[in-house]
Amino acid sequence: MAGKWRVVTYLANEELLKKLEEWARSENRSVSNLAATILTKAIEEREKNSDRTK
């Protein structure tokens, strides 16, 4: 699937946003890019764990 897709999320508190911003800044990337990376890794891990239980 080519292209880029948008997902909107709302954070429960400002502290979480600040931590994400700090993490992104430490890796010289945007918060959006960091969130996409975190989601990608979480999905990969979930699929890997799902394969183990089959």
Residue 2: pLDDT band (50, 70, 90) is confident
Mean pLDDT, rounded, for 2-29: 95
Instruction: Return the pLDDT at 53.
Output: 73
How distant, in Å, are the alpha carbons of 15, 18, 28, 54 from that of 39? 19, 18, 18, 23
Does the pLDDT at position 46 exceed 80? yes
Mean pLDDT of 1-26: 93
* Rounded-to-integer distance, Cα 9 and Cα 40, Å: 15
pLDDT tens-place string over residues 17-45? 999 999 999 999 999 999 999 999 999 99
